[in-house]
């Protein structure tokens, strides 16, 4: 009977001591303070370094998985860009406006009128728009009456850059021709005049 109670005290730990049984005082029996020994339970408690190593492996594996996923995504995008870029270039080259479609006076009038500005900065009323158009026409005619210089730059056949130099206004104006339209980019003051 003593052997049975000894086995029960090992497997139940502190419960045997709390019940006040005297089986743990038998010769050959061991005191158990609640910690399972490697011989009886088969597992050892994890130390702080073991827990840290386990977390390190877990987060390291997650980081490697994320890097692998990013590598796959970037490889797919690279392959896609290799296939799509020639198609985009062909589309831009086929729809690039010719040099003949650029009318410097008309484009300058549009810029002076403020057609490139956002909606909230454009004139609102009918009379404001009319006066703005009149002022833009007069200003453009006066500025270009003494001459202006147009230069065109071809960008690999996909786009064209137009520069209009107006010495009277002391400014250079820039447009880019892409997808069949001329879009105003900006202006700068001519240095040295």
Instruction: Report d(CA 108, CA 149) in Å as an integer.
Output: 12
71-122 pLDDT, tens per residue?
Answer: 999 999 999 889 899 999 999 999 999 989 998 888 888 887 776 666 666 6
C-beta of residue 162 within 8 angstroms of C-beta of residue 97? no
**What tokens appear for 54 in the block?**
């386990």
Tell me how far apart the alpha carbons of residues 157 and 14 are, in angstroms, rounded to a whole number.
87
Identify whether the C-beta of residue 92 lies closer than 8 Å to the C-beta of residue 85.
no
Entry pTM: 0.55
The three-state secondary structure class of 176 is: strand
């Amino acid at each position: 009977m003593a052997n049975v109670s000894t086995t029960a005290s090992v497997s139940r730990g502190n419960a045997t001591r709390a019940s006040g049984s005297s089986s743990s005082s038998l010769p050959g029996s061991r005191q158990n303070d609640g910690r399972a020994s490697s011989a009886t339970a088969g597992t050892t408690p994890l130390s702080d370094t073991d827990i840290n190593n386990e977390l390190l492996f877990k987060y390291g594996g997650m980081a490697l998985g994320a890097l692998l996923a990013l590598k796959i995504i970037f490889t797919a995008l690279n392959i896609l860009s290799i296939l799509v870029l020639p198609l985009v270039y062909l589309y831009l080259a086929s729809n690039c406006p010719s040099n003949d479609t650029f009318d410097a006076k008309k484009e300058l009038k549009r810029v002076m009128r403020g057609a490139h500005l956002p909606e909230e900065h454009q004139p609102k009323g009918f009379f404001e728009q009319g006066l703005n158009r009149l002022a833009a026409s007069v200003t453009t005619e006066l500025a270009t009456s003494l001459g202006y210089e147009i230069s065109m730059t071809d960008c690999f056949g996909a786009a064209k850059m137009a520069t209009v130099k107006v010495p009277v206004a002391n400014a250079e104006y820039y447009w880019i021709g892409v997808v069949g339209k001329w879009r105003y980019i900006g202006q700068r003051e001519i240095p040295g005049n």
